[in-house]
């Protein structure tokens, strides 16, 4: 029996051969670890829907950052849970709040770690939306877009002054990248980079995060400003607008249901592209692994490889440290 000259299986025979010809590779430095900062000291408040994840006080944020750095993860992104919330989200730019305090501590302890600040008001408002509220013509609650922009810029400036290398607006207000760039430049912070959540969908996969960040809306929902999951042409428009406004990097969120969108944004722009492997995706993996239905390590690395293969340069994942350690074991 004859065989074709091209026999791909020859290159799959051993682990060494498979590694030699592997097309998509993940490095620990490709991963970004999200952390939730709260006030106090020695505080570790586990998140029930996210096994292994907790709200942490600044001293423990520093320890987690050190552990991540030791594993090869060189970037963290911080979300803050303030002691006090109000209608404007004023705690977002408090220089003594948990996020600003954590950035100063991280930079003192691990100066070579890339410190990224999520810029949004939902964790800081008493209503759980991403900016001050208004009513539309039908009386429905909505976020006042133009009133929100200077508040986002103010928060971004506070984080950069505290030591953030990158600010990452996640609110999905129109014009926020330009407003933040202007605010940073006016305060002598022109070297601070902007990682825009350019394409953020109104997803069902954010539920565990809202527990972690204590940010569930008390009225209405976020579908009026986050993107419709059915749309991809709109994703192209959103990404291009943020590029024009001065974004240095782009992000697609969530990751797994939107691999096609990641690929589309990758084709559209040469800017570094991040994807957020979000809380619901993490929770599903943990639940399946906890029930013995899947091999967690293999499934995790397969998920991250798929996100990378779709076109992401960087991946935000709550499994960053576990993945980095697994990659080191396989090296």
pLDDT in tens, 11-61: 999 989 999 999 999 999 999 999 999 999 999 999 999 999 999 999 999
Find where tokens 């008001």 sit.
121
Does the pLDDT at position 148 exceed 60?
yes
Q: What is the structure's pLDDT at 17?
A: 92
The C-alpha R_g of the chain, in whole angstroms, comes to 20
Q: What is the pLDDT of residues 200-212, one digit of tens each?
A: 999 999 999 888 8
The answer to whether 200 is a known catalytic residue is yes
Catalytic residue among 85, 107, 253, 308: 253
The vertex-22 CA angle with 16 and 23, nearest 5°, equals 170
CATH number of 25-220+231-330: 3.20.20.70
Residue 329 tokens, joined = 């074991």
Catalytic residue among 45, 182, 200, 218: 200
Q: How many residues does the chain have?
A: 331
Q: What is the pLDDT of residues 94-140, one digit of tens each?
A: 999 999 999 999 999 999 999 999 999 999 999 888 888 988 778 78
The answer to whether 107 is a known catalytic residue is no
Does the pLDDT at position 329 exceed 90?
no
What is the torsional sign of CA 217, 219, 223, 226?
negative
Q: What is the structure's pLDDT at 1?
A: 53
DSSP state of 169: E
Does the pLDDT at position 253 exceed 90?
yes
Q: Is residue 241 exposed (0-12), middle (13-18) or buried (19+ Cβ within 10 Å)?
A: middle
Q: What is the structure's pLDDT at 222?
A: 84
Percent of the chain whose predicted confidence (pLDDT) is above 90: 83
């Amino acid at each position: 029996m004859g065989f074709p000259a091209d026999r791909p299986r020859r290159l799959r025979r051993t682990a060494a051969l498979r590694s030699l010809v592997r097309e998509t590779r993940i490095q620990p430095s490709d991963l970004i670890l999200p952390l939730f900062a709260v006030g106090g000291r020695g505080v570790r408040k586990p998140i029930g829907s996210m096994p292994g994840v907790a709200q942490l006080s600044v001293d423990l944020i520093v320890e987690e950052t050190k552990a991540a750095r030791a594993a090869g993860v060189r970037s963290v992104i911080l979300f803050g849970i303030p002691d006090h919330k109000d209608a404007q989200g004023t705690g977002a730019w408090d220089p003594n709040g948990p996020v600003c305090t954590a950035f100063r501590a991280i930079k003192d302890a691990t100066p070579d770690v890339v410190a990224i600040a999520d810029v949004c008001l939902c964790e800081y408002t008493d209503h759980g939306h991403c900016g001050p509220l208004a009513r539309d013509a039908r009386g429905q609650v909505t976020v006042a877009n133009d009133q929100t922009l200077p508040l986002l810029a103010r928060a971004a400036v506070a984080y950069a002054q505290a030591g953030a290398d990158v600010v990452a607006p996640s609110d999905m207000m129109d014009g926020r990248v330009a407003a933040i760039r202007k605010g940073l430049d006016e305060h002598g912070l022109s070297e601070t980079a902007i990682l825009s959540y350019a394409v953020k969908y109104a997803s069902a996969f954010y539920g565990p995060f809202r527990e972690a960040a204590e940010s569930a809306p008390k009225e209405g929902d976020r579908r009026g400003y986050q993107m419709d999951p059915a749309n991809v042409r709109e994703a192209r428009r959103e990404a291009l607008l943020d590029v024009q406004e001065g974004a240095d990097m782009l992000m697609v969120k969530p990751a797994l249901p939107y691999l096609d969108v990641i690929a589309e944004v990758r084709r559209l722009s040469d800017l570094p592209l991040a994807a957020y492997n979000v809380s619901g995706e993490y929770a599903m993996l943990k639940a399946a692994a906890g029930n013995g239905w899947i091999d967690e390590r293999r499934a995790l690395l397969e998920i991250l490889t798929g996100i990378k293969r779709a076109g992401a340069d960087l991946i935000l994942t709550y499994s960053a440290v576990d993945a980095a350690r697994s990659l080191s074991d396989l090296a």
